[in-house]
Amino acid sequence: MIDLHLHTTASDGRSTPEQLVRRLAAEGIRTFALTDHDTTAGIAAATAAAAPLGLRVIPGIEVTSVHQGIDLHLLGYFFDPDHVELIDFLVAQREDRRRRVREMIDRLASLGIVLNVQSIMKKASQMTGKALGRPVIARLLVAKGHARDIADAFDRFLATGRPAFVARRGATPADVIALIGRAGGLVSFAHPGKLGQDDLIPVLAAAGLGAIEVFHPDHNDATTARYAAMARALGLATSGGSDYHGPRSGRAEALGRVNLPPEAFEAFEQLARRAASIRRSAGGAA
Ligand code: AMP
Ligand code: ZN
Ligand code: FE
Ligand code: FE
């Protein structure tokens, strides 16, 4: 089985890379990509844990881009994790994530909800390259009794337009597609069914988008079929995975259930190879 959408403690997942790899092996997943938000910090540990088990690791990431004020998640694959420009970009993304978390905590304070900033920022320093996000605030709001659960914390405070929401600053989808391309990879449009921005897909296809994430736990059969048809029509590959965030997280049951068919993976990998070789010859590099 193949799963190209997985989160770890490098961003807002609950499993360490090592714990996740053990789970993947137990589920019969043989090829996978970590797609942590704006960080590749988990990949080295996952690769080390995967090697003795014979699992194949594909470099992956889930970058948050901003389109007309809306967050748009883009999945990058097959890129060089050591690409300097990509590394610098991700450092800046994570800095903005910390800025935003701090500002959201300030907003909450002005609403009379005082959270311990130190405990959140300490989490950021537990792992080099760890990406912070709203879930760390949501978990603290639940722990301190200000929300029933994570979803409630988002509904009341953290979701777009809610009282503690702070807008993100960031790269456009086209910027991210170009950057992942320069790093040797391809981008897949993440969980389009969650977003309602289908009109954007042909525009991004023209800008070099490589794939659509067709297989995702938030897609039903009709949604899956619709995006598969759209990918075919636009000449895009398809990607997919469980978007697993650890045990007892939302849609945890999708692990081992929502996956990418081997033929689809092969087509995606071939497209990535072709794109990289066209780029190399166009760039005149050896
Ligand atoms: P951020 O990275 O700060 O934009 O936070 C986004 C993360 O929060 C996503 O990975 C989701 O898993 C989680 N999230 C977003 N909206 C909700 C929601 N309404 N309920 C629960 N989790 C959410
Ligand atoms: Zn996440
Ligand atoms: Fe996402
Ligand atoms: Fe995700």
The predicted-structure confidence for 36-83, as pLDDT tens digits, reads as follows 999 999 999 999 999 999 999 999 999 999 999 889 999 999 999 999
Contact assessment for residue 158 and residue 165, using Cβ atoms and an 8 Å cutoff: yes
Residue type, 188: S
Q: Which ligand is closest to the CA of 74, given by its number? A: 3
Residue ranges near ligand 4 (ion) with Cβ within 5 Å: 62, 243
For residue 286, name the pLDDT band (cuts at 50, 70, 90). very low
| Test site for ligand 1: of 37, 38, 134, most ligand atoms within 8 A of the Cβ | 134
Query: Which amino acid, residue 99?
Result: R
Residue ranges of E strands in the chain: 2-6, 31-34, 56-57, 60-67, 70-77, 186-189, 211-215, 237-240
Check whether residue 55 and residue 182 sit in a common domain: yes
Q: Which residues pair with 251 in a beta bridge?
A: none
Measure 191 CA to ligand 1 centroid, in angstroms.
13
Q: Tell me the residue range of the domain where 37 lies.
A: 2-89+173-285
Contacts (Cβ under 8 Å, ≥6 apart) of 255: 3, 23, 24, 27, 242, 244
Question: Mean pLDDT across the stretch 144-159?
Answer: 96
* pLDDT per position as a tens digit, 3-40: 999 999 999 999 999 999 999 999 999 999 999 999 99
Instruction: Answer for the pair 61, 40: CB distance below 8 angstroms, yes or no.
Output: yes
Same domain, 114 and 177: no
**Total count of domains within the chain:** 2
Å from CA of 62 to ligand 3 middle: 7
Q: Does the residue 255 lie in any domain? A: yes
Residue 37 CA: nearest ligand 1 atom is 2
Please check whether residue 164 lies inside any domain of the structure. no
What is this structure's pTM?
Answer: 0.95
Together in a domain, 214 and 143: no
Residue 180: alpha-carbon gap to chain centroid: 13
